[in-house]
Amino acid sequence: MTAFSHAVAYILFLCTLASAQPRGDYSISQDSCSPSDGFGQYCPTTCGVADYLYRYKPGVVRDLNEMEELLLEIANLTRGAQDKVFYLRDTEKQAQKASPDLYIRKSSSMLDDVLRFEKSILTQEEQIYELQSILAANEKRITDLRQMSLQLDAKCKMPCKDTVEIQTITGKDCQDIANKGGKVSGLYYVQPARAPTPFLVYCEIDKFGRGWTVLQRRRDGSVDFNRKWVPYKEGFGYLSPDDSTEFWLGNEKIHLLSVQSTVPYVLRMEMVDWEGTKRYADYAMFKLAPEADQYRLTYAYYFGGEAGDAFDGFDFGDDPSDKFYTAHNGMQFSTADRDNDKYQGNCAKQDGSGWWMNRCHAAHLNGKYYTGGKYTAKDAGPNGFDNGIIWATWHSRWYSLKQTTMKIIPINRIQTGGQQGGLDSFDKGI
């Protein structure tokens, strides 16, 4: 019997006791007892109470004993529950002691998590620091740009001024300018006899008072010489007062300059190779025909210079006719879009330049710029032709020169200066 059922039984017992009384089983004698309002029908006289106690004592004692037993049982049960709690607690402790690994693993895992979080925080701090640096740099840049903007704004408010220095003396060519007192090399306006308007040229004025009019300049490969007829006619590239840029003056201007005077011109080709050696070749009575004759090149004779007479053609050893077909005197000018050469193909197109092409050339100063000098048919592209800056009587056609200058001067000035003068001028020029 459980503690609960005992308690229920006891309560039922009390109820039975209470409910039994009204039946009047206890009555001793109606005569000796008189009912009292205070006790009701139970007849609570002294005798009645004693009799009642006497009669019910054994039952009450029994009930009390039973209750005591019940209480004892409940106490036992309580103790059992307490023991169970102790037992469970001990078991837990024992279990903890028995398997520390699990707890170490759990702790380690927590520690790892903590470390991971710390690491993540550190990384994020670094990222924040980097972003702050970038921000600072950008702020500085913005400040710089603002500063620059202010400076430019201030500059924009100043009146426009041409920073390229152009000399004031003018003439029909650079020798004319030198004769008029021009002493420094630089940019001058010239107007040849039949020129409709003056145009700008670079004049090289040497210590002998000689004024060279420069027609062409190669120095670093910065200007593309693969141009068509009109650019070669009008000129391209850049003129600079300090002779630092590349250009082609233009066939029309060269024509006007070369035919204007009764005093013929000498055309000088100056060249520098990649070893720094300088050489030149002079051609007397140089003239360029008008466009109607396709700017045909003519000269009377080779006037000297240690670079050799490449304009007269060169025997490359491929064919006996090499020299004849690579001479330039008398050739018309050709460009990719105007084929005036003596070749069944198009020399200017295959070599990528404008020049007085024959079939095709032994001299080719408008050729492709090859840094370092030496090049091969493979370097020359799909055609594989010798298209460099060539002067075949000095270097092989597979060697492209580093710098060139083509310039003219009235022939009497060369004779006045003599050969020595020519060399000095050459040294100054390049």
| 239 vs 331 by CB, closer to Ca ion | 331
Strand stretches in 35-165, DSSP E:
none
The residue from 234, 315, 339, 379 that contacts Ca ion (CB under 5 A) is 339
Distance CA 118, CA 127 (A): 14
Yes or no: say if 294 and 303 are a contact pair by the CB < 8 Å rule. Answer: no
Comparing C-alpha atoms, which of 95, 115, 119 is closest to residue 107?
Answer: 115
- In the complex with Ca ion, which residue's Cβ is closer, 266 or 360? 360
The Cα–Cα gap between 116 and 352 comes to 67
Least distance between Ca ion and beta carbon 339 (Å): 4
Interacting span for Ca ion (CB under 5 A) from 157-165, 180-188, 340-348, 389-397: 340-348
Whether 148 and 187 have beta carbons less than 8 Å apart is answered as no
Residue type, 36: S
Name the segment binding Ca ion (CB under 5 A); options: 168-176, 216-224, 296-304, 336-344: 336-344
Residue type, 126: E
- For residue 289, the minimal CB distance to Ca ion (Å) is 19
- Of the candidate spans 34-42, 210-218, 299-307, 339-347, the one that interacts with Ca ion by CB under 5 A turns out to be 339-347
Query: What's the distance, CA 422 to chain centroid?
Result: 50
- Which lies closer to Ca ion via its Cβ, residue 208 or residue 343? 343
- Residue number, 175 or 346, with CB nearest to Ca ion: 346
Return the exposure string of 1-35: e unless at least 16 CB atoms fall within 10 Å of the residue's CB, then b. Answer: eeeeebeeeeeeeeeeeeeeeeeeeeeeeeeebee
| Residue 272, SS3 per DSSP | strand
- Total residues at the site for Ca ion (CB under 5 A)? 3
The C-alpha atoms of residue 279 and residue 399 are separated, in whole angstroms, by 15
Residue 209 beta carbon to Ca ion: minimum distance, rounded to whole angstroms: 44
The minimum distance between CB 426 and Ca ion, in angstroms, equals 35
CB nearer Ca ion, residue 80 or residue 345: 345
Closer of 216 and 332 to Ca ion (Cβ): 332
Q: What would you measure as the largest C-alpha separation in the chain, in angstroms?
A: 188
For the segment 144-163, give every residue that binds Ca ion (CB under 5 A): none
**Touching Ca ion, residues 341-380 (CB under 5 A):** 341, 343
- Name which of 408, 412, 411, 413 is nearest 210 in CA terms: 413
Q: How far is the CB of 357 from Ca ion (least distance, A)?
A: 8
Which of 323, 342 has the CB closer to Ca ion? 342
- Give the binding range for Ca ion (CB under 5 A) out of 118-126, 274-282, 337-345, 369-377: 337-345
| 385 near Ca ion, rule: CB under 5 A | no
Q: How far is the CB of 343 from Ca ion (least distance, A)?
A: 5
Give yes or no for a contact between 224 and 368, defined as CB atoms under 8 angstroms apart.
no
Cβ atoms 181, 170 nearer than 8 A: no
Between residues 233 and 349, which has the closer beta carbon with respect to Ca ion? Answer: 349
Q: Which residues bind Ca ion (CB under 5 A)?
A: 339, 341, 343
